[in-house]
Amino acid sequence: MDGYERIIVSCRDTDVLVLLTHFAGQLNGELWMRTGTRQERRYVAVHDIQLTPTMQRNILVYHAVTGCDTVSQPSGHGKKTTWKVFQQHGALLDDLGHGTLSESTIRSVEEFFCRIYSPASDETNINDVRYRMFQKGTKDQEKLPPSRKCLEQHIKRAHHQAQV
């Protein structure tokens, strides 16, 4: 922002807002996003968005793993519900998007998904969460978490997206 006090980015894409939020701390000055329609414009003060250091570090990974333009979202769980999990358990995403994807990183992200689908449980195995939900009467496939094998593919896509 050399020589500028304020930058305004005009866009309606939430992916851009996430990118701006991630990089806002590296800028000196105001960063705004103009969004909405011609009849109903809004300005988001990106520079005023307060995130914990863990959230700031992992916002791009969070966005990738919970649904973006190239990676699907967890069935039945949008950004509002996953945001609460991210606020409490964002550190589980620390290694995603960095280097080679390891089994320990996959397990950490799996635990993050367990928190999404079963917030009151301490389960760390998504297949166990899936089984318990089915046992308790959740028969609709759309409401069940993905199997471990499907989740692993999802994590690989999110890992790649976060690296890009």
Q: Does residue 27 contact residue 1 with C-beta atoms inside 8 Å?
A: yes
Question: Where do the structural domains in the chain lie, given as residue ranges?
Answer: 6-48, 53-163
At residue 30, what are phi and psi to the nearest 5 degrees? -90, 140
* Arithmetic mean of pLDDT, 119-143: 94
Q: Which pLDDT belongs to residue 3?
A: 73
pLDDT at 1 over 60: no
Q: Which two tokens stand for residue 4?
A: 């500028």
Q: Which pLDDT belongs to residue 11?
A: 94
Q: Which pLDDT belongs to residue 125?
A: 98
136 forms beta bridges with none
Q: Which two tokens stand for residue 120?
A: 């009151």
pLDDT at 28 over 90: no
Query: Of all helices (H) and strands (E), which one includes residue 68?
Result: none
Strand ranges, E, within 11-156: 30-36, 41-45
Task: Tell me which residue of 56, 64, 114 sits closest to 85, measured CA to CA.
Answer: 114
* Arithmetic mean of pLDDT, 150-162: 97
User: What CA–CA distance (Å, rounded) separates 18 from 15?
Assistant: 5
User: What CA–CA distance (Å, rounded) separates 13 from 17?
Assistant: 7
Q: Which pLDDT belongs to residue 94?
A: 98
Sorting pLDDT into bands at 50, 70 and 90, what band is 75? confident
* Arithmetic mean of pLDDT, 125-133: 97
| pTM recorded for the entire structure | 0.89
6 forms beta bridges with 30
* Arithmetic mean of pLDDT, 90-101: 97
Q: Which pLDDT belongs to residue 2?
A: 65
What letter represents residue 122's amino acid?
A: D
Find where tokens 């863990």 sit: 54
SS3 98: coil
